[in-house]
Amino acid sequence: MRKLVSLLAVVALGVGFLAWAGTNRTVGGGANGNQSGSSRPELEYLKAVNSAAPPQDPQLLFLLMGAYANANQQAEGAEFLTARLNEFGPRLTDAQKSLYLSAIGLLRAQHASTISLLHRIGYVKDTIAMLDQAKRLSGGQIYVVNWISGVVRSQIPNFFHQRRAAQDDLTWCAANIAKAPDIGWLREVDFRLASLALTDGDQVKAQDYLRQSGYKSFDKPVVLTTPFSEDPLSGHAFASRRIAEIVPGRVYALSGFEFTEYYFVVSDNRRELIGIDTGTRTDSAKTAYEALRAYAPNLPELTTIFVTHSHWDHIGGQTYFRGLNPKPRFYARSNYQEEIAGEINGPESIAKHFFGERFNLEDVRNFRPDATVDRPTELKVGGTRIDLFPVHGGETRDAMFIHLPDLACSLSAISSCLTSVRRSL
Ligand SMILES: [Zn+2]
């Protein structure tokens, strides 16, 4: 069972347990740790969302957990989620219950240092019992449940005899990284395995795991789990790999395959597929497009591609789509060459830094649309009405908004131009 969960931001995991014998301070809230709820609109928003109903997307539950952790309000968070678990209990599947229990267990773990020593042993045992129950309810196959279990248990003092269970959970997480929301989750697994090996006195193994984790030392106060990644070959990515149906069966958004997103629209007569932009590289375009075909095998052939603007990350994958049979017809602004001329004069080393060694500037230089647009234009593709609007004042001088009036799609929902505006590139 694969859950697309982004456990966001900086989470100070298990510090409470580590503080068992020493300092009595958790990390994460900093100077703002005691801010009232009203000054944290994101936390209040996520509380409201999670109060309405059990979230269908577990990401919302873990976003709330992360918000509580980062606000240093772990006790409030554990209490809030426990209340929701009790309230929604009869409507929840076992898998959903396991996610609640894991989130509560993690918040409790962070909070342990503030529990009086008199009560702490019972508190820790109760928390361990929650993690155990979460594993039972999940059938042992939900990545985030095992990850939280392993990461928390690995930091519990030996007195509680959790090292073996921690080792098992973490080893499972390393072997089943394909079930994780994204590969970034492996980093903490490696770091915790390194820490366990160090405690065992196995220096070689400890250093090997530490190297794999990417951390330079064992002195690391926080856990950073993020879908942001950088790979020398494929450059940056900012999201977990995901195919979302913005309009079910009609508009698909592909994220996390590379630097930018891909969008595809099924025409009204369902005989044509329409692409919005081409991504950055031929290899990532191929990977993304094949993932879409595997996800929705009965999609029609790709006949048309609209280019929102001629930035590298929107036309660099054009060669792959040009190679398809039949060849799709490309539309772009009439002044596209102006934009490309500026880009190819820039230092290529910067582009490779962003987009990876596989990026090929020739794929940008060679871009030639089949049709150009220099004024507001209305056309139909496979019965779908499409309005094209040349616009000024965006990232480039060759921007084009694409509006599908009959699909009730907002401009921002299907315009990857706006996405990249947010990224300031
Ligand atoms: Zn751009």
Cross-sheet strand order for the sheet of 377-381:
377-381, 384-391, 399-403
The stretch 344-363 carries a mean pLDDT of: 84
Who's near 356: CB < 8 A, 6+ residues apart? 231, 232, 233, 234, 235, 281
CA of 226 to the centre of ligand 1 (A): 23
> Structural domain tally of the chain?
2
Asked, for residue 177, whether it belongs to a domain, the answer is yes
Distance between CA atoms of residues 343 and 327, nearest Å = 26
The β-bridge partners of 242 are 255
CA of 53 to the centre of ligand 1 (A): 37
CA distances from 311 to 77, 234, 314, 421 (A): 43, 17, 5, 11
The stretch 266-280 carries a mean pLDDT of: 96
Asked, for residue 1, whether it belongs to a domain, the answer is no
pLDDT over threshold 60, residue 414: no
Q: How confident is the model at residue 6 (pLDDT cuts 50, 70, 90)?
A: very low
CA of 308 to the centre of ligand 1 (A): 9
CA of 189 to the centre of ligand 1 (A): 35
Query: Greater confidence, 222 or 328?
Result: 328
pLDDT at 347: 73
**pLDDT, mean over the chain:** 86
Of 172, 195, 227, the domain-final residue: 227
Residue 72 sits in a domain whose CATH number is 1.25.40.10
Question: Over the stretch 47-96, which tens digit does the pLDDT of each residue have?
Answer: 999 999 999 888 899 999 999 998 999 999 999 999 999 999 999 999 99
* Dihedrals phi, psi of 403, to nearest 5 degrees: -120, 130
**Contact, 71 vs 80, CB < 8 A?**
no
Question: Over the stretch 92-130, which tens digit does the pLDDT of each residue have?
Answer: 999 999 999 999 999 999 999 899 989 999 999 999 999
DSSP per residue, 310-357: --HHHHTTHHHHHTSSSPPEEEEETTHHHHHHHHHTS-HHHHHHHH-T
**Contact, 285 vs 321, CB < 8 A?**
yes
Q: How confident is the model at residue 25 (pLDDT cuts 50, 70, 90)?
A: very low
**Contact, 193 vs 168, CB < 8 A?**
no
CA of 136 to the centre of ligand 1 (A): 47
Token pair for 276: 């919005």
CA of 421 to the centre of ligand 1 (A): 6
Distance between CA atoms of residues 341 and 86, nearest Å = 61
Q: Closest Cα partner for 314 from 208, 386, 419?
A: 419
CA of 417 to the centre of ligand 1 (A): 6
Whether the bond into 326 is cis, omega within 30 of 0: yes
pTM over 0.85: no
pLDDT at 411: 45
**Contact, 372 vs 293, CB < 8 A?**
no
Amino acid present at 164 = R
CA of 333 to the centre of ligand 1 (A): 14
Residue 388 sits in a domain whose CATH number is 3.60.15.30
pLDDT over threshold 50, residue 344: yes
312/404 same-domain check: yes
Of 174, 199, 227, the domain-final residue: 227
Structural domain harbouring 396:
235-422
The stretch 224-228 carries a mean pLDDT of: 78
Of 198, 227, 256, the domain-final residue: 227
Using a CB cutoff of 8 Å and minimum separation of 24, what contacts does 262-266 make?
262/288, 262/289, 262/292, 262/416, 263/414, 263/416, 264/292, 264/299, 264/302, 265/384, 265/404, 265/407, 265/414, 266/299, 266/300
253/221 same-domain check: no
Asked, for residue 3, whether it belongs to a domain, the answer is no
Q: How confident is the model at residue 408 (pLDDT cuts 50, 70, 90)?
A: low
The stretch 154-179 carries a mean pLDDT of: 95
162/189 same-domain check: yes
